[in-house]
């Protein structure tokens, strides 16, 4: 006659409680843990994408306002006036349009299924290179820190988006790897 073994729920072991013993999960318990992690990852991804969308929309709106205004001086000069008169940024309309194109590219990275047949986004490396042109040009022309900072905003947005997007992808990859690490433990 076989004895019936009572099923004990999973309890995460603290570092102090290990006593050198490993906790073995059966198939159902493993699936429950993985499903819980998958749900948490999905929620975190959704929140992060909403925040990134808000940052991208705000930054793109600033670029559009800059395009529409007559003065092409750095908008940061309104908050932090320069001691000496500041010359206009070189190629202001072209660089603002470039910034908007880079923002659209970031949206394609974050939401690849947004369009029916979206174009492939350009790589983050090329995005960094393109976004670095305006601030480097401002540094070489000796413009104020306000002009350099305004020109560097698209590069900062790309850096933030790339960092968060990479972290989200690592979370997805970790879940896939966790699926492959499932083991069979009959009677656990």
Calpha distance 125→184 (Å, rounded): 43
Domain-located, residue 61: yes
Place of tokens 């369009």: 115
Say if residues 95 and 151 touch (Cβ distance below 8 Å).
yes
- Residue 63 neighbours by CB distance under 10 Å: 22
Place of tokens 């006659």: 1
Residue 16 has pLDDT above 60, yes or no: no
CA 74 to chain centre: 26
Place of tokens 């790309």: 158
Domain-located, residue 16: no
Q: Is 74 in a helix, a strand, or coil?
A: coil
Domain that holds residue 101: 27-180
Element (H, E) at 75: none
Which residues make Cβ contacts (< 8 Å) with residue 52, sequence separation at least 6? 110, 160, 161, 164, 165
7: confidence class by pLDDT, cuts 50, 70, 90: low
Q: Higher confidence at residue 122 or residue 76?
A: 122
- What is residue 3's predicted lDDT score, i.e. its pLDDT? 66
> Structurally, how many domains does the chain consist of?
1
| Tens-place pLDDT, residues 21-72 | 777 777 777 788 888 989 999 999 999 999 999 999 999 999 999 999 888 8
Domain-located, residue 188: no
* Mean pLDDT for the stretch of residues 158-180: 92
């Amino acid at each position: 006659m076989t004895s019936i073994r009572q099923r004990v729920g999973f309890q995460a072991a603290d570092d102090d409680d290990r006593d050198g013993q490993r906790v073995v999960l059966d198939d159902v318990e493993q699936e429950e843990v993985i499903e819980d992690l998958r749900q948490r990852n999905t929620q975190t991804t959704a929140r992060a994408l909403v925040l990134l969308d808000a940052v991208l929309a705000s930054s793109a709106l600033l670029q559009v306002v800059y395009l529409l205004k007559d003065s092409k001086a750095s908008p940061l000069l309104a908050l932090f006036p320069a001691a000496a008169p500041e010359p206009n940024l070189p190629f202001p309309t072209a660089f603002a349009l470039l910034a908007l194109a880079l923002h659209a590219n970031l949206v394609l990275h974050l939401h690849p299924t947004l369009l029916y047949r979206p174009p492939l986004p350009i790589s983050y490396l090329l995005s960094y290179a393109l976004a670095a042109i305006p601030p480097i040009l401002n540094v070489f022309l000796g413009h104020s820190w306000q002009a350099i900072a305004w020109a560097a905003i698209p590069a900062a947005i790309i850096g933030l988006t790339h960092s968060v997007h990479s972290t989200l992808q690592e979370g997805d990859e970790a879940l896939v790897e966790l699926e492959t690490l499932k083991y069979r433990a009959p009677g656990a």
